[in-house]
Amino acid sequence: MSATSRTGLGAAGFIGGVALGLVVWGMQVQRSRRELFSRSMVRRLAALGYLAGQPSAETRRLLADYLNWETQPILRRRGQILLRRMEAYLD
């Protein structure tokens, strides 16, 4: 196998890895949004943890909707803290 062939295969592998990573990341974002409104408190807490690392205007709106929906005080407090941090970061 020539050096040119190896370079081409390496580039194709890198591009394929990036594409796969983007697909997996997109699926994770969708799953987190669904789990935020799950019946399971543990799943909701995990979704809040994930969203904490995803600052965006869309996440801010999602957290505001979540706070209007959530009835558990401990999860509401966590959501409020995250929303305040998100607003401070984005403003």
pLDDT digits (tens, 9 = 90+) for 9-38: 888 888 888 877 777 766 766 666 678 999
pTM over 0.75: no
| 68 pLDDT above the threshold of 70 | yes
pLDDT digits (tens, 9 = 90+) for 42-60: 889 989 988 998 899 999 9
pLDDT at 30: 66
pLDDT at 77: 97
Annotated domain spans of the chain:
3-90
Q: How would DSSP label each residue in 29-76?
A: HHHHHHHTT-S-HHHHHHHHHHHHT--SHHHHHHHHHHHHH---HHHH
